[in-house]
Structure 1
Amino acid sequence: MKIAIAQLNPTIGDLNNNAQQILQAAQEAASQGVRLLLTPELSLCGYPPKDLLLNYSFLQNMKIQLEDLAAKIPSNLTVLVGLATINPQANLSGEKPLFNSAALLENGEIKQIFSKRLLPTYDVFDEDRYFEPADESDFFKIELSSNKDDYLSVGVTICEDLWNDDIFWGKRQYLVNPIKDLTHLGVDFIVNLSASPYRYNKQKLREAMLSHSAKYYNIPIVYANQIGGNDDLMFDGNSVAFNREGIVVCRAKSFESDLVIVEFDPEKQDLLPASIVELPETEEAEIWSALVLGVRDYTKKCGFTKVILGLSGGIDSSLVAAIATEAIGKENVLGVLMPSPYSSDHSISDAEKLVNNLGIKSETIAISEVMNSYDSVLEPIFTGTSFGIAEENLQSRIRGTLLMAIANKFGYLLLSTGNKSEMAVGYCTLYGDMNGGLAVIADVPKTRVYSLCHWLNRDREIIPQNVLIKPPSAELKPNQLDQDSLPPYEILDDIIERFVNEHQSLTEIIQAGHEPMVVQQVIKLITRAEFKRKQAPPGLKITDRAFGTGWRMPIANRWLDTIN
């Protein structure tokens, strides 16, 4: 029996076009003799739909689309479609109003509904806000011939349902284990509809977990994952299937829509080898693909066709320009150079060389006169004070205002170019370089920015060589270097990783070899910069702990007085 995985890229809320994607996949699968087609979690509405789920008309339209889709599915094809369904007992029992479900479509009808049992409420997930967990795991029978005794039992799980094997994790995160329950029901294999957000190296973890479960429970597993960018989240696809021995027998593409087919042999009671797409060769290749996908989909799904960004001649804006060029084409990217009296000659020439290397459009707007105008207006108030951060930040805010003006005038999306290291410690200017509709590398530490640029230059020069070797500088005052205010980025990024991602204490970070005064300084900067991060544009997430949807820190707090 042939099983197909439709690795789809839905747009959240676009029920009609999402249904059309599913139908097209169904028609293609049917033409290749497929009997069962899997789609991702919430494939009809897109994941995560968030508070769209509070809109009753949205739920009703989803139900109508499902019924219409069921009527159009080719005969002799069974399809599992992800959607939200209404919990009819909610008002009587005090339960949550919805279920995160999978609908079984066959012969023009909605044959069966399965609902998710394990609802994640950590990091970027907030499913308990909307959904009630299902009470039990369930399966369906798929007939192989006209003989009604000739069938397979297929266990259905949805995303997190596969993530609670206490033997693999060494701990139990939920009270139940749906995989174990389904094996007790005697199913022939398990399918999983997922919308698992990307972070780098996550596929290795997924596959280790799925391989363990398939081998330990002696059950084949077919896993269908969403792809695409939705706001700050990217979904990498990499849908995969494992045989009873825990060996990969099929893998779909990374960061691309795909339709892959794997065959289940009823006699062997196992999945047969099929096509296996290789994973990206390096972390840099993987992260690059994720960021390109994130920019492409955010731009398209928000209704933009062109982007604009400021080009300083620095490494951050150079990387963002390269990502944007790959994502939407060089003809759709505008880089703006805005030199000030403190801009070095090489910053201008490096930016111009980048423009030529990428083939993008550019404009140059000198800001000296605008700076003089601000100085003149503020002179009565600033009299008797020394040049300082306020004057430095004015330069950044002038640039941000000019970029926003151009973006508004021509309907461009402004891309912010700040990295995670800067966002962590507040080395960025509100209403200046933080302006924008999308922060492309806000979850990319500075050291990773460098490794990505070196990787990008592996075959030819894209990022100018001088950009890679000159000391980083905001160039907001004479001879300024980042290291005047911050520790070296190798040290800073390690402290940020330990404190933000690994939740290590001040004492643990010091014991790892860092100077106590440096650690205290960095932690203080991270904590005090919270008000800035709350006002930043969405930033594409590539790590476990990004300053986005899953970051929920208070702004006004006194916990610095108690940390150790």
Structure 2
Amino acid sequence: MTDRFRITLAQLNPVVGDIAGNAARAREAWEKGKAAEADLVALPEMFVTGYNTQDLIEKPIFHQTAIAAIEALAKDCADGPALAIGGPALEGAGLYNGYYILRGGKIASRVLKHNLPNETVFDEVRLYDSGPLGGPYSVGNTRIGSPICEDAWHPEVPETLAETGAEFLLVPNGSPYYRGKMDTRFNQMVARVVETGLPLIYLNMVGGQDDQVFDGGSFGLNPGGEMAFHMPVFDECYANIDMVRGDEGWRIAAGDKAHIPDDWEQDYRCMVQSLRDYCGKTGFGKVLLGLSGGIDSAIVATIAVDALGPDNVRCVMLPSEYTSQHSLEDAEAVAKALGCRYDYVPISQGRQAITETLAPLFEGTQPDVTEENIQSRLRGLLLMSLSNKFGEMLLTTGNKSEVAVGYATIYGDMAGGYNPIKDLYKTRVFEQCRWRNANHRDWMMGPEGEVIPDRIITKPPSAELREDQKDSDSLPDYPVLDAILNILVDLDGSVEDCVAAGYAREDAQRVEHLIYISEYKRFQSAPGTRLTKRAFWLDRRYPIVNRWRDRG
């Protein structure tokens, strides 16, 4: 009986729908494992299709093609280590989230996911059938249990595997990032180790998919919950993990333990990675954005440069007569510090033409927000024209506070293909800017040092659509607004909860009203990076037509 079992873990970045490309990546991983004399090469959950596929997985030709690719992989990888890969599975009339063990030129074993997540971004109950509680599979004379992702967040599957002879657990995952997620994973997996008494290897994928970012950070735990190894977060990488059998059974040999960054770094990396992969996987090599001299567009420009490089980012200042001199200076300073292209396109002449065109229809009315929004919509028109002409994806720059209460102009500054700060409250935008000015990492393609001038961070926020306008004219101050939004949105709390936390009832009721009447705007807004469990899109699905109001 062997006393050592080597697993090559492939923490990789698949592309949803690129079945041939994902299968080729799996073959590369198998080759690396073969060169390392591994017994098993392991890939994450649903790797062959990419994850999260949403309803695409239900299309028969799609899941049939994925299964055929797995069968072809089995034949191609006959002479060497076993290969474990996630993909769809058919059993009778049922469609399952499966994990395949390929060995000796065929599919040697198949695991079917039992616990199907049906919360936050996951809809697996409507996409898949629930597999039965099963036992371990064998690779040689070693018996391995593989609870698939959610199966390891509940005790019954791991306990069943332990009771039926599993010697250790290998957990394939498609687990997306949210702030604090790594601690949650550790706590859940330690519980499974304590309950089963078995070593556990947690294998996660990396990379961005629409709003979600899979952050890797694969790790291993020995009985008692001791960390044996920890792979880097967000990075594609491989690790050769040795299982060693002694008198007390299998243990994971000690390996490298990567540094886990703090929340500020992980959030920023998540925004950079999501934009980089969104562009890379959709075919956009370049982006552009309106650079106003304000803090939101400044951090989006910085994220874009860090994601794609300064040569692939165009910043456009579109001033009106209400644009302050310091905004002109600050916008140019950001573009210069980042080293990206800076274009200057005044809108006063175009705005005047539109105003004159509408004058006969507006006769007898007083100027109001309509005229203000003409500026924003004209900017959107010009930016989209540049996008069309040069093939550069337009980024939108609204923070979560603005997105929540609709403090944005639909078909104006909301125009764009992606928004990396969509789940970042305004108060966090300020601190995230300070963090980036003070920190630089090798995964950033932008320059070191202060790239966002301090004046941008400290000056009162303003949309500059009228004389002396400030955001606080229309909204509670951002520390108050964000605290109320956190209660109402992130914590699903009530107006009374806001009052109990010390905030004015009228402020809470007003913010709640704005949240609800802005739903139609969010429905049409660009996708953006998910940083929390209550991001606007799949995490929070509300009706557009909605008369409910909390009168508390």
Amino acid at match of 1:254: V
Partner of 1:171: none
Aligned partner of residue 229 in structure 1, secondary structure:
strand
After TM superposition, the structure 1 = structure 2 runs for residues 285-434 of structure 1, keeping only pairs within 5 Å, are 285-434=265-414
Equivalence for 2:63: 59
* 2:433 corresponds to 1:453: yes
Q: What is the CA-CA distance between 1:137 and the residue it aligns to?
A: 2.6
Match among 182, 185, 188 for residue 209 of structure 1: 188
The answer to whether structure 1 residue 157 and structure 2 residue 147 are counterparts is yes
C-alpha separation between the residues in 1 aligned to 2:372 and 2:346?
A: 16
Report the AA paired with residue 126 of structure 2: R
Is the 2:136–2:146 contact (alpha carbons within 8 Å) kept by the matching residues of 1? Answer: yes
* Ranges in structure 2 where 5+ consecutive residues have no aligned partner: 440-448
Secondary structure at 1:356 match in 2: helix
The match for 1:231 among 191, 196, 210 is 210
Give distance in 2, aligned partners of 1:43 and 1:54. Answer: 16
Aligned partner of 2:445 in structure 1 is none
2:496 aligned with 1:507, yes or no?
yes
Q: Secondary structure at the match of 1:48?
A: coil
* CA-to-aligned-CA distance 1:173-202 (integer Å, 9 cap, x gap): xxxx21121121131101111001111110
Say whether 1:117 aligns with 2:114: yes
Counterpart secondary structure, 1:100: strand
| In 1: Cα distance, 2:546 partner to 2:299 partner | 35
Deviations 1:225-266 (A, max 9, x none): 111001111110111111111111111111111111221112
Greater shift in the superposed pair: 383-392 or 476-485: 383-392
The yes-or-no answer on 1:11 pairing with 2:15 is: yes
CA contact (8 A) 1:137 1:156 kept: no
User: Which runs of 5 or more residues in structure 1 are unaligned?
Assistant: 91-96, 144-150, 166-176
C-alpha separation between the residues in 1 aligned to 2:260 and 2:29? 23
Query: Is the partner of 1:266 in helix, strand or coil?
Result: strand
Which residue number corresponds to residue 178 of structure 1? 157
Q: Which amino acid aligns with 1:411?
A: G
Match of 2:260 among 279, 284, 290: 279
CA–CA separation in structure 1 for the residues paired with 2:68 and 2:157: 30
- Contact 1:243 1:272 (8 Å CA) reproduced: no
Query: Distance in 1 between the 2:325 and 2:135 partners?
Result: 67
Offset, 1:216: 3.3
Letter in 1 for 2:189: L
Q: Where do residues 129-144 of structure 1 align in structure 2 (5 Å cutoff)?
A: 129-143=126-140
Task: Tell me the residue number matched to 1:84.
Answer: 88
* 8 A contact 2:292–2:318 mirrored in 1: yes
Measure how far apart 1:557 and its partner are: 1.3
- What is residue 423 of structure 2 aligned with on the other side? 443
Deviation at 1:465, TM superposition (A): 1.3
Distance 1:21 1:344 in 2: 52
User: 1:26 offset after TM fit, Å?
Assistant: 1.1
522, 532, 547: which is aligned to 2:511?
522
SS at match of 1:550: coil
Tell me the residue number matched to 1:103. 100
When the two structures are aligned, how many residues end up with a matched partner?
A: 537
Query: Is the partner of 1:242 in helix, strand or coil?
Result: strand
2:470 counterpart of 1:474 = no
Report if the CA contact (8 A) 2:136-2:165 is conserved: no
How far has the Cα of 1:404 moved from its partner? 0.5
The AA in structure 1 aligned to 2:196 is Y
State the alpha-carbon separation in 1 of the partners of residues 148 and 64 from structure 2.
22
CA deviation profile, 1:42-93 (whole Å, cap 9, x unmatched): 00000011222222221221122112211222633111110011231x2xxx
Identity %: 37
Matched, 1:532 2:529: no
What are the Cα deviations for residues 260-279 of structure 1, in whole angstroms up to 9, with x where unaligned? 12211122421121111111
Q: Quote how far apart the aligned CAs of 1:212 are.
A: 2.4
Tell me the CA shift for residue 315 of structure 1: 0.4
**d(CA) in 1 for partners of 2:455, 2:281:** 36
Whichever residue aligns with residue 318 of structure 1, its letter is A
Query: Per-residue displacement from partner, 1:351-380 (whole Å, max 9, x unpaired)?
Result: 000011000011110000011011101111
Work out whether 1:491 is the aligned partner of 2:474.
no
State the 1:563 CA deviation.
Answer: 4.5
Distance 1:20 1:26 in 2: 10
Amino acid at match of 1:474: A
Q: Which runs of 4+ in 1 moved over 6 A?
A: none
Which SS does the other structure have where 1:494 is aligned? helix
Kindly tell me: are residues 308 and 262 of structure 1, through their superposed partners in 2, closer, same or farther at Cα, counting changes over 3 Å? same
3-state DSSP of counterpart to 2:268? helix
Which TM-score applies when normalising by structure 2? 0.96
Residue of structure 1 in register with 2:451 after alignment: 462
Residue 384 (structure 1) shift: 2.2
Match of residue 225, structure 2, among 246, 255, 277: 246
Q: Which moved more, 1:544-553 or 1:12-21?
A: 544-553
Q: Tell whether the 8 Å contact from 2:135 to 2:165 is kept in structure 1 after alignment.
A: no
1:23 aligns with 2:31: no
Q: Secondary structure of the residue that 2:37 maps to in structure 1?
A: coil
Whole-Å separation in 1 of the counterparts to 2:487 and 2:316: 36
1:269 is paired with a residue whose SS is strand
Task: Give the corresponding residue for 2:442.
Answer: none
Tell me if structure 2 keeps the 8 A contact 1:117–1:137. no
Checking the alignment, whether the CA contact within 8 Å between 2:113 and 2:131 is kept in structure 1 is: yes
